[in-house]
Amino acid sequence: METTVDEPSWLRTASWIGCPLVGGALGVGVWAIAAWVSGLDAFPFQGVFKVLTKLPQPWATLAAVAGGLVLGLVFAVVWAVERLVVTVSPTRVTLVRGDKTRRIEADLEAVYLDGKELVLRTTDGREIAREKTDLRTSELAPAFAEHGYPWLDEPPVER
């Protein structure tokens, strides 16, 4: 039996839908700001903003929305690749980020969050893993405790 800790499925789905939609909306906002900046008497890089506003309508708005959608989709892809998935079993801890999988089969002395990093320490005091994560203590602690790993609520004091 094993326990997997991951972002909620609604958040993963929302990121694939929401990021491109927000990006598209921001694209329209950037075009509106470009129109405003190009009308000012002086502004740094004003030429770039004037070029954006010279595009004929509706192509300018469509280009702004499409550019925002693409950037939002790129952000969603980066989010998905950077997400950490933790699977805990009595004999192994598996950490998956993107296409990289790390299997840890060691006697652990401590498992804890140090800020936004999941840390696994062996019984001889070595830090065997330190991975950035947005997973919460309330999700990770029960998964590790259920399988007999020593979860610490605070990082241990260094000796």
pLDDT band, residue 19 (cuts 50/70/90):
very high
Tokens of 75: 């952000």
Contact indicator for 145, 134 with CB cutoff of 8 Å: no
Q: What is the DSSP string of 92-112?
A: -EEEEETTEEEEE-S-EEEEE
CB 68 within 8 A of CB 18: no
Residue 86's beta-bridge partner residues?
Answer: 5, 95
pLDDT digits (tens, 9 = 90+) for 79-132: 999 999 999 999 999 999 999 999 999 999 999 999 999 999 999 889 999 999
CB 72 within 8 A of CB 19: yes
pLDDT tier at 30, thresholds 50, 70, 90: confident
Contact partners, residue 126, CB within 8 Å, separation at least 6: none
Residue 147: C-alpha distances to residues 29, 37, 84, 105, 156 (Å):
50, 59, 19, 13, 21
pLDDT at 159 exceeding the cut of 60: no
Q: Tell me the HSE value of 81 on the side-chain side, using a 13 A CA sphere.
A: 7
